[in-house]
Amino acid sequence: MESGQFITLEGGEGLGKSTNLHFIKSFLENQGLSVVVTREPGGTPLAEQIRSLLLEERAEAVADKTELLLMFSARAQHLKEVIHPALAQGQWVISDRFTDATYAYQGGGRQMEVSLIQQLETWVQGLFRPDLTFLLDAPISVSMQRVKERLNNDRFEQEQLPFFERVREAYLVQARNHPDRIQVINANQSLELVQQDMVAHLLPLLQK
């Protein structure tokens, strides 16, 4: 049995990752593929508990190193229990966020050392990386307006503008460093055009 493909969706807050994740799932299933949809942090019962630790507001400040290690702890469990087994069975896996988000939020937003993230990435993942990553990108003003319209924002969504500016720039740095894998999608266009762009990048993957 051929192994499946691993697709990730990345981007700032409020840029339509969830909507487009389900679009990709439907598109791939219409091609006769078996698809697993998941998310980070999370994806397994244990990893979802770690997600709660990361996202919930609390009186005790979460140290940056604690946050980073929890991210990779959840990821290690996610890889072992969900991602690797599904791919080995020939399923395609779509994840709402993966390690590029760590470079963006902890590396960019928290201004942690990229070399430290790289070490943890290698330790937890080895050489494993997504086959294709969509980076939904739009000006920060667009993202912030959409976040303001939400209720019950989590700990990350309550950060200030400079944090999100650093997150966006770190994402774009990742895209420049990995142009063959990361496809930047203009999220400030119509949903129809966003999804047309995605299909254009999915079709070559289907032909591999």
Write out pLDDT tens, residues 77-127. Answer: 999 999 999 999 999 999 999 999 999 999 999 999 999 999 999 999 999
Between 143 and 106, name the one with better pLDDT. Answer: 106
Strand-strand pairing, 182-186 and 92-96? unpaired
Helix (H, G, I), strand (E, B) or coil at 9: strand
Q: In what order do the strands lie in the sheet with 132-137?
A: 35-39, 92-96, 6-11, 132-137, 182-186
Tokens of 13: 């807050």
The whole-number pLDDT of residue 149 equals: 62
pLDDT band for position 150 (50/70/90)? low
**Tell me, what's the pLDDT at 157?**
61
Which uninterrupted H or E stretch holds 166?
Answer: helix 161-177
**pLDDT on residue 21:** 96
E strand intervals along 89-131: 92-96
Q: Is the pLDDT of residue 148 over 90?
A: no
Q: What is the pLDDT of residue 141?
A: 83
Is residue 144 predicted with pLDDT exceeding 80? no
Q: CB burial class (10 A; 0-12, 13-18, 19+) of residue 178?
A: middle
Give 156-175 pLDDT, tens digit per residue: 666 678 888 999 999 999 99
Q: Using alpha carbons, select from 132, 182, 196 the residue that is nearest to residue 4.
A: 132
pLDDT of residue 61: 86
pLDDT confidence band for 208 (50 / 70 / 90): confident
Strand 132-137 and strand 6-11: pairing? Answer: parallel
**pLDDT one-digit tens code per residue, 12-60:** 888 889 899 999 999 999 999 999 999 999 999 999 999 999 888 888 8
Q: How far, in Å, CA of 106 to CA of 115, rounded?
A: 12
pLDDT score for 67:
95
Residues in the chain: 208
Cα–Cα distance between 102 and 105 in angstroms, integer? Answer: 5
pLDDT-based confidence at 151, cuts 50/70/90? low
